Amino acid sequence: MTLSLQTFITESRNLASENIDMLSTIDMLTIINNEDKKVAQAIEQILPAIADAVDLIQTTFNRGGRLIYCGAGTSGRLGILDASECPPTFGSPAEQVVGIIAGGKTAILKAVENAEDNKQAGQDDLQALQLTDKDIVVGIAASGRTPYVIGAMAYAKQVGCKVISLCCNNNSEMSDIADVALEAIVGPEVVTGSSRLKAGSAQKMILNMLTTGAMIKTGKVFGNLMVDVQATNAKLIERQKKIIMEATDCTREVAEAALTTSGNHCKTAIVMVLTGLDVQQAKQMLASKKGFIRDCI
């Protein structure tokens, strides 16, 4: 059967950019910028559904499950990007948030022809991760009909996982499978069909919300401070000190001493300064309170 793209909003022509190839650079960029402004507005329309998705992910984390993104092309790369940034930002285990992409690792850097059309590959890749019903799967595709993603989502449902879809078209096949459907309708792209533009921006923003929201709700943030940040370079060590000072209103000297004593564990250092506990007591307190600093103080 021939695939018709005529009904997909993401594939329709944008009247505002019909003559963009004839414009001056500044006028061209103005059109792109004006279209980009629509992304946040589209996301605002589906905030309640995004909240439901965050709550599902929090529940998954609380029971030791994983968040697994699956996508093809730009969508797959965005999922991998979000997953890869969670450990340094939130101190989360590398296996807690995982991204898979049609075509495997090669597809991260360059297109793999026809990979997205393989529905069975989506199932196979989740089986390789030993998916269980404790996990949650987020299928990402601007069109909402990518076979690789649909195959992964359908298999996840068979296993008993909660499933979330993220796309930029209404009433998609992916949405029909999902427990929570996120449809960010950003409209036609400036360059027709180039879903790396507004659709990609919407996906990136929503993925940020999913992980950031779930990490906040599982104790990875104190106030608005990333208190579980992993210090892997000089800049991040300085950030840890700054976080401790801001969280406790202590001096730099106190922050440095607490950070050293805690073995460069920012959250432990904060609890030590705020409560007067020694390092072992602070660690035990954090463990008993499941990592929530507010519950320790």
Contact 185, 203 (CB under 8 A): no
List all residues 6 or more positions away from 253 whose beta carbon is below 8 Å from its beta carbon.
Answer: none
Strand partners for 70: 100, 139
What DSSP designation does 21 have?
A: G
Q: Distance between CA atoms of 255 and 54, rounded to whole angstroms?
A: 33
Contact 80, 154 (CB under 8 A): no
Q: Distance between CA atoms of 80 and 196, rounded to whole angstroms?
A: 15
CA angle in degrees (0–180, nearest 5) for 58-157-198: 65
Contact 173, 146 (CB under 8 A): no
H or E element at residue 155: helix 147-159
Strand partners for 99: 69
- Confirm whether 173 is a catalytic residue: no
For residue 34 the two structure tokens come to: 């004006």
Catalytic residue among 116, 173, 183, 189: 116
What 3-state class would DSSP assign to 24?
Answer: coil
Catalytic residue among 11, 35, 44, 85: 85
Contact 121, 148 (CB under 8 A): yes
The tokens 């998954």 sit on which residue?
60
H or E element at residue 8: none
**CA proximity to 152, closest of 117, 103, 119:** 119
- Count of CB atoms within 10 A of residue 42's CB? 20
- Confirm whether 85 is a catalytic residue: yes
Catalytic residue ranges? 85, 116
